[in-house]
């Protein structure tokens, strides 16, 4: 006769097996992070072997200015300033820690007074080449990077395209991702100090804060808002309405809204519009830009 | 056969219903109780701190006591205390308990409320667990001196077996999930045929190579193809010998599997199972489209054990993820869990000449903690504090033995399972480790 306790033990054993084989298969949730689909130039590290190319066009328009005390005034003689820029931006992940950065802009500036063109200029502007270093992370959610950038003017004797001075920038960026309800979110915050090395070469503080939200689980559509600005200091306090971009002592704060759509893991498009909110010694600008992002993996 | 008319049946039902109603009237109101653990993960540096709350909606005052009892995971009583309570009608009570003076380790704690009123009463027990300074937990038992050579020899034996990989694409699944799915067959140690499924993201970039997640099965769990939207990671799910789709030769009852050939460490089922995992890594490394330096071994329960064991033996594993790994610190485990020792004792009793001492000597070669110290890759471990199959004391012994970068996620109120937080952290850490930014 089989003792009763045998059945009790057997039942207990079977029950245990049933419980834990049912609950634990294998841990498998793979995370495709939102940062893969965000726009370039943030604090997130760049994947080794990944080449990101982003051609973009932008339009800047201003018909008024803030003076040196921050008082808003129209440009004299009904002046209107516009600038069309075409930029190729690229990132390449060299290794887990290092990425190479390049930005090549072409600009066309136009200033009219009394409906008459008074000044135009165009050409390649300041080339930016840099190295980004992935500093650290917090729980693989928040990422810090440090970027060193060299500024090289691609023109000479053309003050309308830039300062015509070499410069350098050191930028600290902080990015992270999270959730708002069922939606994924991310942010980028960066602050860079840029020094132009010429006479009266300004020293600038350039800052940017972006918050983005995916509109679907596949990260195909996203919206983001950005607040950015520059504070530039120089002994040269002059203001040139015709080419406000080359003023050296100025500041502005800009807000912009951006919509992004990903056609695939490789291709995204971003459409942005922005408005200058505050400023000193600069144009009251309105901006619109369109950027394509191509991501190509070489490993 | 008894025939009951509809009227009689209705009358019987009414009597039962009325009886129930009168009982409900006597019990009008209810009591609820909750325990607040003053630590989000149940870990304390010295004194464990709890608040026990009782709420009453009874009309009458309830009088009785609230008490706790602390035991080790093996059930040895360590501390207890109680306070007299008097809870007014529609009232509540809150009672703080600080439990000090315990050695590093994990403990079970049961909170009990026993009160009685004029016409009613309430008894309840709430079970919790907590840890004191778990980073100081170690095992008094070392690993066998020839532990590494035992597994090295197993590896050499595996190397002599021609894997004879056979990869067959399963076309239908690929359409549905943007992945190609392959059935994989291969020969492992002892010449046994084992099977798995490889799924790869469909990608037209010829330069693209995929990181690989090696998914390892829980106890007697069948693993089919695993898919998902991740474009960077291939998933290879393995059915170890005698499990799931690899039952050609070994096909035993669930409770028998864990004791199969336990009397001989060179034939024990888990020796072959661990070598099956190593063979799976061999397979991954034979595939040119997979990254051979981005392999994560992941699993839960027995899968967690296999992930730890494989990562300890095979340095080609680059990331280890073990949720609720079983079979850690087995010589202490025997006092703390029912399974698998119920089955092991039964097996010993049916084998003349076999003793538990001999079995424990053999199991030293399959103790998860003994593999842990050989792991060189980043390792994530997950535990549930009220796990009665992979108790936290034992898993922490394993965890503390890992010398590589490591992280543990503790689920205070879970048993033999882990929460979503673990999977999310695993995905993020893996992506960072493999630079899949």
Helices (H) then strands (E): counts for chain B: 12, 17
Greater confidence (B337 vs A28) lies with B337
Q: With helix as H, strand as E and coil as C, how does B375-423 read?
A: CCCCEEEEEECCCCCCCHHHHHHHHHHCCCCEEEEEECCCCCCCCHHHH
The CATH number assigned to the domain holding A76 equals 2.40.128.130
| Predicted confidence pLDDT, tens digits, chain B (437 residues) | 334 444 444 444 444 343 433 333 445 678 889 999 999 999 999 999 999 999 988 888 888 999 999 999 888 999 999 999 988 888 999 999 999 999 999 999 999 999 887 767 788 999 999 999 999 999 999 999 999 999 999 999 999 999 999 999 998 655 666 889 999 999 999 999 999 999 999 888 888 899 999 999 999 999 999 887 788 999 999 999 999 999 999 999 988 999 999 999 999 999 999 999 999 999 999 999 999 999 999 999 999 999 999 999 999 999 999 999 999 999 999 888 888 999 999 999 999 999 999 999 999 999 999 999 999 999 999 999 999 899 999 999 999 999 999 999 999 999 999 998 999 899 999 999 999 98
Domain boundaries, chain B: 29-136, 147-433
Question: Residue A181: is its pLDDT beyond 50?
Answer: yes
The dihedrals phi and psi of B397, each to the nearest 5 degrees, come to -60, -45
Cβ–Cβ below 8 Å for B233 and A30: yes
**Is ipTM strictly over 0.90?**
no
CATH architecture for the domain at B147-433? 3-Layer(aba) Sandwich (3.40)
Cβ–Cβ below 8 Å for A13 and B342: yes
DSSP per-residue letters across B56-90: E--SS-EEEEEEEEEEETT--EEEEEEEEEEE-TT
Cβ–Cβ below 8 Å for B300 and A26: yes
State the smallest CA–CA distance between residue B218 and chain A in angstroms: 5
Distance of alpha carbon B344 from alpha carbon B357, whole angstroms? 12
pLDDT digits (tens, 9 = 90+) for A76-86: 888 898 999 99
Tokens 């474009």 map to which residue? B231
State the smallest CA–CA distance between residue A10 and chain B in angstroms: 8
Q: What is the DSSP letter of A47?
A: P
State the smallest CA–CA distance between residue B390 and chain A in angstroms: 10
B366 backbone φψ class: left, alpha, beta (φ>0; ψ -120 to 50) = alpha
Pairing of strands B48-56, B92-99: antiparallel
DSSP bridge partners of A48: A93
Q: For residue B183, what pLDDT is reported?
A: 96
Cβ–Cβ below 8 Å for A24 and B303: yes
Interface of A with B (CB under 8 A): 9-10, 12-14, 16-17, 19-21, 23-33, 35-36, 44-50, 93, 96, 137, 139-141, 218, 265, 296-299
Q: Which of residues 315-344 of B touch A (CB under 8 A)?
A: 321, 323-324, 338-339, 342-343
**CATH tag, B29-136:** 2.60.40.10
Q: For residue A144, what pLDDT is reported?
A: 95
Total domains in chain A come to 1
- The separation between CA A119 and the C-alpha centre of its own chain, rounded to angstroms, equals 31
B-chain CB neighbours of A21 within 8 Å are 218-221, 254, 301
Q: For residue B172, what pLDDT is reported?
A: 66
Query: What is the span of the domain harbouring residue A15?
Result: 4-297
Residue of B74, B85, B137 whose CA lies nearest to B111 = B85
The average pLDDT across A230-253 equals 84
Q: For residue A182, what pLDDT is reported?
A: 81
pLDDT digits (tens, 9 = 90+) for A271-286: 999 999 999 999 999 9
Question: Residue A2: is its pLDDT beyond 50?
Answer: no
Q: For residue A37, what pLDDT is reported?
A: 58
How many other β-carbons are positioned within 10 Å of the β-carbon of residue A255?
Answer: 15
DSSP bridge partners of A110: A82, A120
Question: Residue A221: is its pLDDT beyond 70?
Answer: yes
Tokens for A51, please give them. 């080449």
Q: What is the DSSP letter of B243?
A: B
Distance of alpha carbon A294 from alpha carbon A104, whole angstroms? 16
3-state secondary structure of A212: strand
Listed range (A2-11, A116-125, A266-275, B119-128) with the worst mean pLDDT? A2-11
B-chain CB neighbours of A24 within 8 Å are 218, 221, 300-301, 303-304, 323-324, 416-417
How many other β-carbons are positioned within 10 Å of the β-carbon of residue B193?
Answer: 16
* B382: contact with A, CB 8 A cutoff: yes
Distance of alpha carbon B64 from alpha carbon B117, whole angstroms? 9
Cβ–Cβ below 8 Å for A299 and B209: yes
State the smallest CA–CA distance between residue A166 and chain B in angstroms: 32
A-chain CB neighbours of B321 within 8 Å are 27
| pTM, rounded to two decimals | 0.85
Q: Is B432:A177 a contact under the CB 8 Å cutoff? A: no
How many other β-carbons are positioned within 10 Å of the β-carbon of residue B160?
Answer: 8
Q: Where are the beta strands (DSSP E) in B100-157?
A: 105-116, 121-132
> Predicted confidence band at A237 (pLDDT cuts at 50, 70, 90)?
confident
Q: Measure the CA angle with vertex B354, ends B353 and B358; round to 5°.
A: 130
| Most confidently predicted of A30-39, A42-51, A131-140, A242-251 | A131-140
DSSP bridge partners of A130: A101, A149
* B197: contact with A, CB 8 A cutoff: no
3-state secondary structure of B309: helix
Tokens for B305, please give them. 């054990």
Cβ–Cβ below 8 Å for A24 and B427: no
**A20 → chain B, closest CA residue:** B416
Cβ–Cβ below 8 Å for B303 and A218: no
Distance of alpha carbon A279 from alpha carbon B198, whole angstroms? 58
Listed range (A20-24, A91-95, B261-265) with the worst mean pLDDT? A20-24
Among candidates B209, B416, B432 on the partner chain, residue whose Cβ is nearest the Cβ of A20: B416
Tokens 């309800």 map to which residue? A181
């Amino acid at each position: 006769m089989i003792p009763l306790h045998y059945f009790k033990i057997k039942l207990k054993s079977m029950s245990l097996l049933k419980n834990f084989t049912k609950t634990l298969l294998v841990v498998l949730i793979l995370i495709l992070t939102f940062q893969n689909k965000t726009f370039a130039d943030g604090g997130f590290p760049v994947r080794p072997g990944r080449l990101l190319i982003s051609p973009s066009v932008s339009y800047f328009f201003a018909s008024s200015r803030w003076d040196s005390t921050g008082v808003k005034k129209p440009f004299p003689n009904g002046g209107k300033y516009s600038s069309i820029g075409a930029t190729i931006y690229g990132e390449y992940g060299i290794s887990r820690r290092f990425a190479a950065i390049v930005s090549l802009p072409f600009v066309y500036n136009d200033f009219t007074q009394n409906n008459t063109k008074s000044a135009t200029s165009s050409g390649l502007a300041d080339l930016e080449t840099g190295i980004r270093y992935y500093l650290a992370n917090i729980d693989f959610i928040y990422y810090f990077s440090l970027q060193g950038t060299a500024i090289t003017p691609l023109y000479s004797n053309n003050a309308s395209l830039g300062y015509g001075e070499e410069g350098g920038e050191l930028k600290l960026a902080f990015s992270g991702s999270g959730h708002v309800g069922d939606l994924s979110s991310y942010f980028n915050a960066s602050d860079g100090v840029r020094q132009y090395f010429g006479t009266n070469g300004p020293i600038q503080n350039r800052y940017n804060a972006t918050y983005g939200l995916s509109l679907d689980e596949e990260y195909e559509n996203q919206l983001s808002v950005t607040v950015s600005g520059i504070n530039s200091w120089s002994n040269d306090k002059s203001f040139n309405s015709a080419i406000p971009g080359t003023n050296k002592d100025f500041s502005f704060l800009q807000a912009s809204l951006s919509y992004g759509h990903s056609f695939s893991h490789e291709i995204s498009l971003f459409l942005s519009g922005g408005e200058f909110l505050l400023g000193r010694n600069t144009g009251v600008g309105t901006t619109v830009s369109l950027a394509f992002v191509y991501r190509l993996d070489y490993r | 056969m008894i025939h009951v008319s509809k009227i009689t049946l209705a009358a019987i039902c009414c009597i039962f219903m009325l009886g129930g109603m009168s009982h409900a009237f006597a019990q009008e109101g209810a009591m609820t109780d909750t325990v607040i653990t003053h630590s989000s993960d149940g870990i304390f540096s010295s004194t464990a701190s709890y608040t026990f709350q009782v709420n009453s909606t009874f009309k009458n005052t309830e009088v009785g006591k609230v008490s706790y009892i602390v035991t080790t995971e093996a059930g040895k009583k360590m501390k207890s205390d109680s306070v007299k309570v008097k809870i007014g009608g529609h009232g509540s009570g809150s009672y703080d308990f600080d439990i000090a003076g315990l050695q590093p380790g994990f403990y079970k704690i049961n909170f009990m409320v026993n009160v009685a009123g004029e016409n009613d009463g309430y008894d309840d027990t709430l079970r919790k667990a907590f840890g004191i300074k778990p980073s100081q937990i170690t095992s008094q038992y070392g690993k066998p001196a020839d532990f590494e050579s035992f597994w090295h020899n197993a590896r050499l034996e595996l190397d002599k077996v021609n894997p004879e990989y056979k990869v067959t694409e399963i076309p239908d699944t690929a359409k549905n999930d943007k992945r190609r799915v392959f059935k994989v067959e291969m020969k492992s140690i002892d010449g046994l045929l084992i099977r798995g499924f490889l799924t790869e993201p469909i990608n037209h970039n010829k330069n693209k190579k995929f990181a690989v997640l090696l998914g390892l099965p829980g106890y007697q769990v069948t693993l089919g193809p695993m898919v998902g939207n991740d474009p960077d990671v291939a998933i290879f799910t393995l059915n170890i010998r005698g499990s799931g789709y690899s039952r050609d030769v070994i096909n035993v009852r669930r409770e028998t599997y864990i004791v199969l050939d336990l009397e001989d460490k060179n034939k024990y089922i888990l020796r072959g199972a661990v070598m099956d995992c190593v063979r799976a890594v061999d397979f991954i490394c034979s595939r040119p489209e997979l990254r051979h330096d981005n392999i994560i071994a992941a699993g839960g329960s027995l899968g967690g054990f296999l992930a730890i064991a494989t990562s300890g033996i095979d340095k080609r594993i680059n990331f280890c993820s073990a949720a609720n790994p079983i079979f850690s610190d087995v010589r202490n485990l025997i006092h703390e869990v029912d399974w698998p020792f119920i089955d092991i004792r039964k097996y010993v009793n049916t084998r003349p000449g076999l003793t538990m001492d001999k079995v424990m000597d053999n199991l030293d070669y399959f103790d998860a903690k003994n593999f842990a110290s050989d792991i060189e890759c980043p390792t994530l471990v997950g535990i549930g504090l009220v796990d009665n199959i992979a108790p936290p004391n034992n898993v922490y012994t394993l965890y503390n033995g890992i010398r590589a970068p490591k992280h543990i996620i503790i689920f205070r109120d879970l048993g033999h399972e882990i929460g979503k937080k673990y999977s999310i952290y695993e995905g993020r850490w893996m992506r960072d480790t493999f630079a899949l930014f």
